[in-house]
């Protein structure tokens, strides 16, 4: 399942690389590549804020509830969907208002793209609403096939734009939104249980319970989503669209390892509660580290030898000056992949209040360290700041997850404090 998801998501990664190569043929093209980087950053920030908290909230209850009371699980899914669409509408209105008020600022250059960005965000929210049902139901084959259909269609669309020399930021965003929406509708029609779609009703108590969890997770995930793209935004604001284009391409190339981390998370999240309840978290973590640390170390050594020729082949000569930034970004990403997947799932599912603090730590590190180094070393400095932030946050997650696994952290869920050992009982 993990291999299938990685393979299919790699298809979209190839598409992204083709877009950067097609846009960044010269300095004027690098400006367009920078606008594309910022547009995709907006989509992913909004999707992280709208989708990820709800997915985690569902993972806490639905896998067990589906076995005990499917009707109640379906009602919970519908309640989460209603909240998701309400949040998506708020984000869409805010972004369109921002575009209208951008004026002559640096942000004005992204304003003409905001309509396409909003379409892509709404399509993402719908598609992920289908995916979370398959994930919580542990229907991993269906999940992989649906994602495969999406990624293949995206790549075909980019190849068509490439072949016809039609690549523009607007056309890429339009294709992204249309294909994602089509995949969401197809997946809902063919793969979702009839009992889930038979009614639109949800329970008020479910909404209230989701809101209790989301009061911590929405701020944490919103900060986390901003953190993932904050570096691109800071480069765009400080150095301009051309620098953002080169940096955005290096960031996309360096984040290939995050494809693996994301695929692992989809498998880990439904199982993390069982790992804590049967005290197997520490042994699973130890087993994971035995494989992850040597593998990521070898990957970094290979990158040090091959980065420059690979960047020139994949993206073109115009991006080669960004190789030092790529290596710093890759180092931080590989450290994260080696250490963070299990601790992140443990903290996010069982101690949502801690995720706010940890996400804020990353924001501070990227903003202060990254921006300071950006002003001295350019995009390489920003990459160094991101590397420092990812290493620091991964170590914080590791420490907190170990305490959670041992039942030594108290979590505020309501008017009283409960220990980790009480959760899930």
Residues 312-329: pLDDT tens digits?
A: 998 988 899 999 999 999
What is d(CA 285, CA 340) in angstroms, rounded to the nearest whole number? Answer: 10
Residue 421 CB neighbour total at 10 angstroms: 12
If pLDDT is split at 50, 70 and 90, which confidence band does 300 have? very high
Please report how the helices 241-254 and 379-405 are oriented relative to each other, as an axis angle in degrees rounded to 10. Answer: 40
Q: How far is CA 392 from CA 46, 289, 328, 359, 367, in A?
A: 25, 17, 14, 11, 14
pLDDT tens digits, residue range 60-90? 778 888 888 888 889 888 988 988 899 899 9
What is d(CA 363, CA 385) in angstroms, rounded to the nearest whole number? Answer: 11
3-class secondary-structure state, position 51: coil
If pLDDT is split at 50, 70 and 90, which confidence band does 420 have? very low
Tell me which H or E stretch contains 95.
helix 70-101
Question: Average of pLDDT values for 165-183?
Answer: 94
Question: Average of pLDDT values for 404-423?
Answer: 46
Say if CB 50 and CB 125 are below 8 A apart.
yes
Query: Mean pLDDT of all residues in the chain?
Result: 84
3-class secondary-structure state, position 339: helix
Say if CB 6 and CB 146 are below 8 A apart.
no
Angle formed at CA 90 by CA 149 and CA 41, multiple of 5 degrees: 50
What is d(CA 173, CA 19) in angstroms, rounded to the nearest whole number? Answer: 11
The answer on pLDDT for 411 being more than 50 is no
The answer on pLDDT for 8 being more than 80 is no
CA dihedral 233, 86, 140, 422 (to 10 degrees): 100
Handedness of CA 38, 393, 378, 312 (dihedral sign): negative
pTM of the model: 0.77
Domain boundaries along the sequence of the chain: 2-422
If pLDDT is split at 50, 70 and 90, which confidence band does 347 have? confident
pLDDT of residue 6: 66
Q: Say what percent of the chain tops pLDDT 70.
A: 88
Cβ neighbours for 231, distance < 8 A, ≥ 6 positions apart: 247, 251, 366, 370, 382, 383, 385, 386
The answer on pLDDT for 41 being more than 50 is yes
The answer on pLDDT for 30 being more than 50 is yes
The residue whose two tokens read 């969890």 is: 213
Which letter does DSSP use for residue 104 in this model?
T
pLDDT tens digits, residue range 122-140? 999 999 999 999 988 888 8
Question: Average of pLDDT values for 391-407?
Answer: 86
Which residue did the predictor score with more confidence, 412 or 216? 216
pLDDT of residue 345: 80
Q: How far is CA 249 from CA 42, 175, 261, 300, 380, in A?
A: 15, 20, 19, 18, 13
Residues in the chain: 425
Nearest to 329 by CA among 266, 373, 375: 373
Task: Quickly list H helices, 340-378.
Answer: 341-350, 352-364, 371-377
What is d(CA 101, CA 89) in angstroms, rounded to the nearest whole number? Answer: 18
């Amino acid at each position: 399942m993990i291999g299938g998801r990685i393979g299919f998501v790699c298809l979209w990664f190839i598409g992204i690389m083709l877009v950067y190569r097609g846009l960044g043929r010269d300095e004027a093209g690098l400006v367009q590549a920078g606008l594309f980087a910022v547009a995709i950053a907006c989509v992913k920030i909004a999707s992280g804020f709208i989708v990820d908290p709800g997915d985690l909230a569902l993972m806490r209850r639905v896998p067990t509830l589906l076995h005990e009371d499917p009707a109640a699980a379906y009602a919970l899914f519908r309640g989460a969907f209603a909240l998701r669409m309400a949040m998506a509408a708020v984000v869409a209105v805010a972004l369109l208002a921002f575009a209208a008020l951008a004026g002559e600022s640096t942000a004005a250059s992204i304003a003409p793209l905001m309509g396409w960005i909003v379409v892509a965000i709404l399509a993402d929210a719908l598609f992920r609403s289908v995916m979370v049902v398959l994930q919580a139901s542990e229907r991993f084959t269906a999940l992989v096939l649906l994602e495969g259909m999406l990624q293949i269609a995206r790549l075909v669309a980019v190849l068509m734009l490439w072949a016809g020399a039609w690549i523009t930021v607007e056309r890429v965003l339009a294709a992204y939104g249309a294909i994602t929406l089509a995949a969401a509708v197809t997946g809902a029609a063919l793969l979702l249980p009839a009992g889930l779609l038979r009614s639109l009703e949800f329970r008020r108590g479910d909404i209230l319970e989701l809101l209790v969890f989301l009061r911590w997770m929405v701020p944490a995930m919103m900060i986390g989503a901003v953190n993932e793209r904050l570096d691109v935004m800071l480069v765009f604001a400080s150095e301009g669209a051309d620098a953002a284009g080169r940096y955005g391409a290096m960031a996309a190339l360096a984040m290939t390892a995050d494809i693996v981390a994301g695929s692992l998370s989809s498998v880990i999240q439904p199982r993390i509660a069982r790992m804590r309840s049967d005290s197997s978290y520490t042994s699973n973590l130890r087993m994971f580290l035995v494989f992850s640390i040597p593998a990521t170390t070898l990957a970094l050594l290979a990158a040090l030898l091959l980065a420059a020729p690979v960047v020139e082949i994949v993206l073109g000569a115009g991006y080669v000056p960004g190789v030092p930034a790529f290596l710093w970004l890759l180092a931080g990403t590989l450290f994260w992949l080696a250490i963070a997947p299990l601790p992140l799932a443990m903290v996010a599912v069982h101690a949502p209040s801690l995720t706010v603090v940890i996400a804020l730590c990353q924001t501070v590190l990227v903003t202060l360290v990254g921006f300071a180094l950006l002003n001295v070393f350019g995009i390489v400095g920003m990459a160094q700041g991101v590397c420092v932030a990812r290493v620091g946050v991964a170590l914080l997650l590791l420490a907190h997850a170990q305490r959670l696994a041992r039942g030594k952290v108290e979590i505020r869920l309501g008017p009283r404090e409960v220990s980790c050992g009480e959760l899930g009982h």
